[in-house]
Amino acid sequence: MPVFKGAGVAIATPMNADLTVNYDEFARLIDFQIENGTDAIIVCGTTGESATLTEQEHVDVIRFCVEHVAHRVPVVAGAGSNSTDTAIWLSQESEKAGADAILSVTPYYNKATQNGLVKHFTAVAESVKLPVILYNVPSRTGCNIQPETVVRMVKDVKNIVGIKDATGNLAQTTKMMQLAGDLPLELYSGEDGLIVPILALGGLGVISVLSNVAPKETHDICAKFFAGDIEGSRALQFKAMPLIDALFSEVNPIPVKRALSLIGFDCDAIRLPLTLLEPAHEEVLKKAMKDFGIALA
């Protein structure tokens, strides 16, 4: 059984005006997601501002998410770090908290070799019993997991099961899936603009920013594809593109936190070095949301 199939939301972390985590609003956001068809919650990823959470906050947010979700959908805990020891600790704490799987990003800034990546992810995976989904996002980390390296780890490490592919490089993704052959490699798109192409390559779904404000539609892109309605899936993907572009008009999660505020969630607060969305980009975002059919508060 895969960790999940369909649209998993890379959920934002609401914060109070003093920049502490707003758990009441987080609970509302989790419920909104599940009620609108989200297939999994991915907590403390990039969209969840994991880079500016303290290690204790990181674990506390994961634990709260697991407890509030209460097995309604799978919870995947972001547990990566550029320190292998820290990544191991976060992974073990995520397991203790009851997460269903972990999402482990490539070590950022260090720019490890491919052999270094193998040793890093193997050490993380062997420290827990949970399934591990690799997270390859070279634009953020300065480090790319090559297709051969992914396949090697899925083959050799029993609980490294899949990858969130945010490379934006379909040729690389195609090569990875070709090399995987019959291996049960669970592929998830890490790019909202490439959901349908990734599904066509054998993907199981998406780990999505778009899902924060359009959970049903993002779920439906995947569900229609799996049901054989490729045309319907493609039409929804096309319709979402202006909104997806607006959600990345500035670095994630700046626009999506503003978008959540625009539909009635208290999500404007964001930790430095990230800042509030520029007014010109907000106007584009509002238009894209309205054109997509999202009612603003």
Do residues 268 and 25 lie in contact, with contact meaning Cβ atoms separated by under 8 Å? no
Annotated catalytic residue, options 108, 155, 164, 257: 164
Annotated catalytic residue, options 135, 188, 224, 257: 135
Known catalytic residue at 164: yes
Known catalytic residue at 216: no
Q: Which residues are identified as catalytic?
A: 135, 164
